[in-house]
Each structure stands twice: as C-alpha cells, then as structure tokens.
Structure 1
C-alpha cells in the first residue's frame, strides 16, 4: 500500500521506516529541507537504536523516500498519516498549528478520496475537528471527494521504539467507519501476531487512551518518588520496598524505580495537556492527581542538586563536580525535559563547575549550554578527575558497570550522589565512598 507520513520527527520517521519494513511503499514529508536532504543520504537527525540499518536498507530498496514537496506527498499516498509535532504551551495546552497546516494542504492538493490518520498525540476532539474542517473546506471548493479521519496513537518508548513499532503490544484505531477500520487492519496485518490486539473504538476514546496511558505511567513514577521521600525520612530503602511491591501481580515491576524525576517529550507534556483539557472541558472538576504528579516531578528533578548543596553549601564557587548522564533516559540522545537540565541549571546558578559525560547526548547539551563552567569530556574517567563528587543522573550501562575503586581514586572527595540508585550503598561504603541515593534511608 502507498503510505505518506507527514513529519520526519521521532514518531514520523520511526513509523515511516517501520511501514517500509513491513512491505509498504512510503513517502515521508517534512518542511525542514536540511533534514530531508540528510535523511535522503541515510543520515539520521537523532539516535534511535536499530533505526540506522532499516533506513539504509529501505532507501537502497527504493520503497522509502523523503521529500519537502507537500503536493507530491498528498497525492502519492493511499493513506495519509499525520505525525507532526504538537508542542506544549506555557499553560499546558498543546499547539495544533502543525496539524492544521497539514490539513489545509491536504484540502488544497487532494484530488481523490482518501484517509487521514492522526498519529500525533492530540487531545480528544481533534479528529472530530479535522473531520468537520475537511467536510466544510471540500464543500467550499466544490470538490467531489471524501476524506475520512481516524485516530491511531503511537505508544513508543525511546530507546526501544523500533522493536515496539515493528512488534506492538496493541494497535489502537479510533473510527466509526468500518471501511476505515478494515483498511488500517490491512496496513497493520504483518505487525500483529494476535488480531485481538487490534482495537477499534471511537476517535475520542483512542485519543484519550494515549493520554491516559502516559499519565498512569507518570503517576507510578511520581508515586514511587514520593515514597522515596518517606523511605528516606523513616530510615527505609526504597529499592527494598520496590522489590516487595513488584511481586504483587496487581502492581507489577514496571515504572517503579525512584529517581530524580521523569522527562522526555511525552510524559511532562502529556500530563500537562491532560490536566489542561480536564480543567477546560469538564465542569466543576479539578485534576488533583494529575496536578500532584507534575508537582512531585518538579520538586524531584532538583532534589539531587539540593542534596549536593546540603553537603557542600549553597555557594558552590570553586567547586567542581562530575556529572554522568545527560539524556532523559538511556539509549537516546534526547534531552527534552531531562532531569539533567534542571540539575545543571541549579548547580550553575550556585556557582559550580561541572565536568559532564554522556555516551550520546553531549552535542545536544552543548547546543543549549555554551557556559564556560560546563566542561564536556569524552570518558567517564575524565569527568571524575579532580571532582569534589560524582552526580549520576542517567542510568547508562557504562555507569552501572564502572569500577567503584576507580571512582574513589579519581575523585577529590569520595562522594557519590546517585540519582538513579544504580549502586548498592553498602558496596560503595565498603570501598570508602560516601553514598547518597534517592530514598536510601538505611
């Protein structure tokens, strides 16, 4: 099937490559000419494990191409997937201008019946709004065609997106049109081994399913971060508490790690958007749980920096610290809403100098911080050399497996501030390190 994907960002590019991998002919369109030129040469604009070889394969096989020509993209696809960004505004609501811009071009250039599938994360009611817009706009230009709109939210995790896109745990489709549902079932026929995991529902239910899923995962993280404060205050270890909780089948083991807050392009934005939506659309209602999730995360993201200041003082001039991990999670170079950004801001404001390392994300941080007190180093060892303490923000495997004795020998003072609880307090103390984790009150 001929598929067009609008947007060559994280969701759009991963989706386009995975559609090609499952045998479709794919056009991926974006307005960023430099990005499209690089992609056409096989150069990725971001890192995602497993994406590079698939991109190269399908460029070579000629079943995937990239363009800035929106007229060509509109006309070339049997099904048009919208996967453009929906950035968050200051009050939490999302900006739909890029969705609407694509819709306007579809009306302008489409000459035959088609399906428009919204893969971008959008608030409930957006697909209904698009369907009404298409109907009115096509009537206004006397176009004798029909455009059907469906919701098809993505549920991808950065660092695992390729496998999750190629082999999803479910496909959610929002439509009341059985023909649309059947065509999308055909698109995804090779993606699912269990046809019962192809779920058809109303567009608003599909749109809300994405927000509700991310909000629940964020809630679990914020709840465990709140419990980490309790554990630390009463002398318990949150990791031991988690091990007991995770064996309860009603709870499960996932998203129970306490740490220095959640980040990325989804959880903060989606929880904020859902809270805003609830305030605007639901009469006499306050989203107290969603508000609490965001509030706890805001305080958790700087708690590690506050622990450093508690030990070394509020004035950190002439103090140098090693900071390991800049991306919001391992296996990505994404620093959007990353805890590292908030920790760096807090420590720089206090006068500190930082020696930072990350396997992938340093170029992203360098673009944000030309600050002379932020030194980018090529190895974890170089970050440690002469530093007052080590601050761990992202749980990359290279840090988990690092020699504690080497840390002790390279640091000026034997302090570890472990924002992801990757080390055992007793083991670190046995080699002479002073250990401060998250919720490690024992």
Structure 2
C-alpha cells in the first residue's frame, strides 16, 4: 500500500522506515529541506539501534522516498500519517498543537476524495474529532483516525516491528479496514489489535505514559522515606516488584524520568482534564511531576553534602548526559539538569556520554565534554553516575582511584554494583540507601 509519513522527527523517521521495511511504498515529508536531503541519502537524523541500517536499506530499495511537498504527498497516496511534534506550550502546561493544526490544514487543501489522515502524535483527547471537522469542511468524504505510537527510545525499531499492541481510533469500518491491512504483517506476528473510537485511542497513550510515570515517582517517593528512615530502597523495590500484581518494571529508584514524552505528556493530560471538567480525577499527576522534579534537587543536595557543603572550587565528573541509555536525546534530561545546577553553583564540571555529547553541548555549552571516562574523572572531588549506560557497569573502579582527587561516587540511578567500588576504596552513595541520611 502507499502512504505518506508527515514529520520526520523521532516517531516519523522510525515509522516511515519500518512501514517501508514491511513492503509498503512510503513518502516521508518534512519542511526541513536539510533533513529531507539527509534522509534521502539514507542517513538518520537520530541515533537509534538498527535505524541507520533499516533506513539505508529501504531507501535503496525504492520503497522509501522523501519530499518537502504536501501536494506531492497528497497525489502519491490516500493514507497519510501525521507524526509532527506536540511540545508543551511556552505559556502553560497544555500541548502546543500549532504544528498539528498547520499540517492538517495545509494537507486538506490537497487531499483527494476518500483520503484517510491518521494521527500518531500524542495529543489531548478530542483533537482527532476537531481535526476531522476541519478537514471535512474542505474534503467532505475524507476521514481522520488516530493511531498512537508506543515507542521506547533505544528500542524504537524493535517496538515498531514487534509491537505488543496496535491501537486505532476510527469513525468508520473503511478506516479500520485500511489500518488492519497496513498492519497485517504485525498482526500475523502476534500484535493485539484494538479498534475503538478516536477519543479512547487518544487517551490510551497518555494514560499509559501517566501510569508509568506514576510508578517511577512512587518508588522515588519511597526512596525519600527510606532516606529518612535509614532503610534500603533497592531491597524495598525488589520486594514490592516481586508481587506479580505490581511487577518490577519501572520500580527503579533514582534520578527520575525525563525525555520528550513523560514530562510534557502528563502535564498536557492534566491540563486537558481540567478543560473538560475532569481535573480532580488526575490531580495526582501534579504530585507525580513534583516528585520527579524533586529527585533532581535531592541529587544536587546530596552531591553538595558529599563535597563539603559547597561546589565552589570543586571538580565534579558527570557520567551520562542523555535522558536514558541507548539514546542521544537530551530533551528534559535529568542528568543534564543536575550537571547544569552543579555548574551554576561553582563546580568545574566534566561530562562523559557515549552518544549524546553533541546534543548535550548544544543544550548546555558550559561544561567540558569528553568521550574518555578517565579524562572526565581527572582530579574529580566527586563522580556523579547519572545515566545508566552499560559502559559504566564495565568501569574498573581500581583504575579510577589514582585518577580522581577523592574517590567519592554518587550513584543517582542505584544501578552500579557497590561491592567492587567499595572494595577498591571508593565511598559510594545512592539515593534511598541505608547510609543516606535525610535529604
């Protein structure tokens, strides 16, 4: 089948390449001419496992092409996926839908009769219905459906090719049939297909993200209690997670969540719930957000105590800049936020990250960045482990002892094995550990 993918950011690039890999003919569209040229040459704009190879292969096959023209896209296909960004509004917590509105309005001018516009962007409930009315005013028999994405950065290609579920919000049997046909290879591979109304489909995405964010903030709230009580949050998390009704995933105490999805999605969800009169139902999301932000403050506070109460004239090594391992994304990165706070308080900061240094340097120019871990730790008074990259699990703590000024490490992700570090003479600390004291 033929389709366009409008917006070649994170979601759009992955979706376009994966749909082409399934055998469909795909035209990716974006207003950024430089990005389109790079994609047309088979070069991905983001670092994502397996994406470079998949993109190069599908472009070479001819099944994936790119353009800057919505008119060309409308002439090419009758099915159009909208994958543009919905960031937080600069004047509040609601989602900024200007790009979604602009794309659909422009696309409507060129749509052929019987076209299907499928949103994948994360949007406030009611957006699909609103856009459907706008498009129908121009092309009466065009339809809007919603098909939220559930990609995890670092495993987005795998999540696209082997999804657990596919959710579509539709207003007709025709739209459902088109989407079932498009996703036939995935359904044959075992993906569960949910066909529902557009409002439910929109809510599934934000509800899932809100639940996962709540789990993370819950265990970080328990870490605060453990600090006050002298208890061990890692054992608590393991014991609680052993309950099959709860599960261990996302019960990982530490620095909290970041990135381009969870923070802005829970804020936009709460804002939209207020607009439709259901604000009290999700009022707890405000506390989820506050707990998450507080983890960054608690990490800085703990680090400050470990260097004697002031960062002035201190050297701090930061291990990790991306918001999570497996990604070069630093948007709303807790790691980079902590590094910035420490630098503002007078510390000399050196940052290491295996993939995200270019993006980190663009977002936060002041620290020194290096691809060499010992160089980052040179003469450090404190080492902060902020992003749990696998590379940091492989560090030989003994080799770093003569490199640093003081062998003190704060594991803000509670993910390093403390035994070899302490055996090598390091003073290792973590949020919510029995020796942590109060924040």
Distance in 2, matches of 1:3 and 1:426, equals 54
234, 240, 244: which one aligns with 1:249: 244
**Are residue 290 (structure 1) and residue 285 (structure 2) matched?**
yes
Which residue of structure 2 lines up, in the alignment, with residue 78 of structure 1? 78
Structure 1 residue aligned with 2:358: 363
Whole-angstrom distance in 2 between the partners of 1:282 and 1:176: 25
Q: Does 1:405 align with 2:398?
A: yes
Whether 1:9 and 2:9 are equivalent positions in the alignment is yes
The structural deviation recorded for 1:63 is 0.4
> Could you tell me how far 1:106 is from its partner in structure 2?
1.8
TM-score by length of 1: 0.95
1:360-419, Cα deviation, whole Å (9 max, x unpaired)? 001011112232xx1111211111111111101000001012111123232110100111
Structure 1 CA distance for aligned equivalents of residues 73 and 166 of structure 2: 24
Provide the C-alpha distance between the structure 2 equivalents of 1:423 and 1:47, rounded to a whole number of angstroms.
25
Aligned to 1:309: 304
Aligned pair partner of 1:395 in 388, 396, 408: 388
Given the alignment, which residue of 165, 177, 184 partners 2:179?
184
- Residue 100 of structure 1: CA displacement? 1.1
After TM superposition, the structure 1 stretch with the greater mean CA deviation from structure 2, 25-34 or 65-74, is 65-74
Q: Superposition RMSD on alpha carbons, in Å?
A: 1.4
Q: Does 1:263 align with 2:258?
A: yes
Picking from 409, 417, 424, the partner of 1:424 is: 417
What per-residue deviation string (whole Å, max 9, x for no partner) do you get for residues 150-208 of structure 1?
Answer: 01000000001000001100000001311111110000000123667110011000000
Q: In the alignment, is the contact (CA less than 8 A) between 1:80 and 1:115 conserved in 2?
A: yes
Structure 2 CA distance, aligned partners of 1:218 and 1:311?
29
Counterpart pick for 1:206 among 201, 205, 210:
201
Partner of 2:117: 116
Count of residue pairs the alignment pairs up: 434
Runs of 4+ in 1 over 4 A off after TM superposition: none
**8 Å CA contact 2:322, 2:336 repeated in 1:** no
Structure 1, unmatched stretches of 5+, are 139-144
Say if 2:226 is the partner of 1:231: yes
Residues 428 and 283 (structure 1), Cα distance of their counterparts in 2 relative to 1, 3 Å cut: closer
Deviations 1:103-162 (A, max 9, x none): 112221123321000011111100000111112233xxxxxx511110100000000100
Task: Provide, for residues 267-290 of structure 1, a one-character-per-residue CA deviation record: whole Å limited to 9, x for no partner.
Answer: 001100011111121157363310
The equivalent of 1:96 in structure 2 is 97
Q: Distance in 1 between matches of 2:12 and 2:348?
A: 38
| Structure 2 equivalent of residue 336 of structure 1 | 331
Paired position in structure 2 for 1:142: none
Please state whether the residue corresponding to 2:351 is helix, strand or coil.
strand
Q: 1:83 to 1:127 in 2, by over 3 A?
A: same
Give the structure 2 partner of residue 106 of structure 1: 107
Is the contact between residue 210 and residue 266 of structure 2 (CA under 8 Å) also seen in structure 1? Answer: yes
Report if aligned partners of 1:2, 1:76 keep a CA contact under 8 Å in 2.
Answer: yes
Separation of aligned partners in 1, 2:208 and 2:309 = 39
* TM-score, with structure 2 as normaliser: 0.96
- Counterpart of 2:216? 221
Distance 1:311 1:355 in 2: 17
Q: In 1, are the aligned partners of 2:271 and 2:279 still within 8 Å (CA)?
A: no
SS where residue 297 of structure 1 aligns? helix
Q: What is the DSSP-based 3-state SS (H/G/I as helix, E as strand, rest coil) of the residue aligned with 2:296? A: helix
> Counterpart in 1 of 2:270?
275
Distance 2:278 2:162 in 1: 40
